Amino acid sequence: MQLSWYYFLLFVIKRKQLQDAAEWEKRPYKRRHSRYQKAFYRALSAEEKQLRQRRIPRISLHSTHQCAWRYLFFSYNDQALITVTGLNHAMFEYLLRLFKLKPMFDTTTPFGETIILTNNRGRKRTVTAVDCLGLVLAWTRTRGSTMSLQMHFGMSMTNLSLYLRFGRQIVASILSRDHFAKIALPSDERIQEYKEAIAEKYPLLGDVWSAMDGLKTPIQQSGSTKTQGYFYNGWKHNHFVTSVFCFCPDGTIPIAHMNLPGATHDSTIADWGDIYIKLERVYNRNGGICCVDSAFRMRNKPYIIKSSQNDIVGAGATIWEQRIDLLRKQQATSMRQCSEWGTRTIQASFPRLCDKFPFETKG
């Protein structure tokens, strides 16, 4: 009797499985993101998974006191430090002073715990403020996996990830309060200097003080088709986060609006970020004009000049006026390259921006 019930239960379970499989086949196709398709990885043993972790174990690394980073830093060679961090020793020391003045590094652990400083509380950290700041700057200057940073700084992957996140939080905090790192409109005297510098090279652009362009940074595609549409750019055929920067002749950024979905047009970003309002404010103060490309609207606004448009000044314009207008627009095209160089400088100085950022809605 007991065996009959046992076989009956097996029959019911098997029938239920067949029904579920049949219903699953009838369901409409729903695309699953590649990050959720890990059947091969789950089938591996624990040892095989460990071999594929793409990290260097502690036994294969130098100690932090003898790592390549400290040898490079204490050689006091500016060329080497600029190659790794993008800063010379003078600028690095300036950031390091701000880094140390911020009590967050000494009074907070990388795990987010606040501690009370005492003379006999455990052992000292092997990772100093120099190491933590250098790790953050070197991370921005590299691409791909961080395992190369393990060899440079002599840190295991877990330790490196903790201090990298910890250091980024401190750097973002100190730069948000630093006068030289702020994105702000320059003074009228400074804008006049920009005008004179541009007019010296382009005589017909005596009122131009800046140039503006957009920058797209790649991002991973979302698992939701609707969300993908926000970030997909049909011109580039990829998913991006879009920003708009305004550049001055000396390389500073007085106006910016960042981190918008890649499907957003540059002109729309400038409108949402009140960039047009700020440019108009500068024009009303001192007559300054910004040079842009054809992607931006506000065609007839006096505070914007667009590059290389072979339109005539007016219906009754003379040949001389047409030539002057065409020459002015050609000079505006050359001046607009300032913004192209600016966006390229950002990408070259921070290669990490060229990597695909992970898509996170609550990151």
Instruction: Report the C-alpha gap between 246 and 252 in whole angstroms.
Output: 8
pLDDT at 130: 92
Residue 184 sits at the vertex; the CA angle it makes with 178 and 189, to the nearest 5 degrees, is 110
122's tokens: 């455990």
C-alpha radius of gyration, the chain, whole number = 28
30-44, 91-105, 194-208: least confidently modelled range: 30-44
CA atoms within 13 A on the CB side of 325: 13
pLDDT at 230: 83
pLDDT at 3: 60
pLDDT at 60: 87
Q: Is the pLDDT of residue 253 over 80?
A: yes
Q: Is the pLDDT of residue 256 over 60?
A: yes
SS3 37: coil
Q: Is the pLDDT of residue 257 over 80?
A: yes
The string of pLDDT tens digits covering residues 324-340 is 878 888 888 888 888 88
The backbone torsions φ and ψ at residue 221, rounded to the nearest 5 degrees and listed phi first, read -80, 145
With tokens 């398709």, the residue in question is 37
23-32, 42-51, 139-148, 177-186: least confidently modelled range: 23-32
Kindly list the domain boundaries of the chain, sorted by start residue: 58-179, 184-354
The string of pLDDT tens digits covering residues 239-250 is 889 999 999 998
What pTM does this model have?
Answer: 0.77
Q: Give the mean model confidence (pLDDT) for residues 78-86.
A: 92
Q: Beta-carbon neighbour count of residue 198 at 10 Å?
A: 24
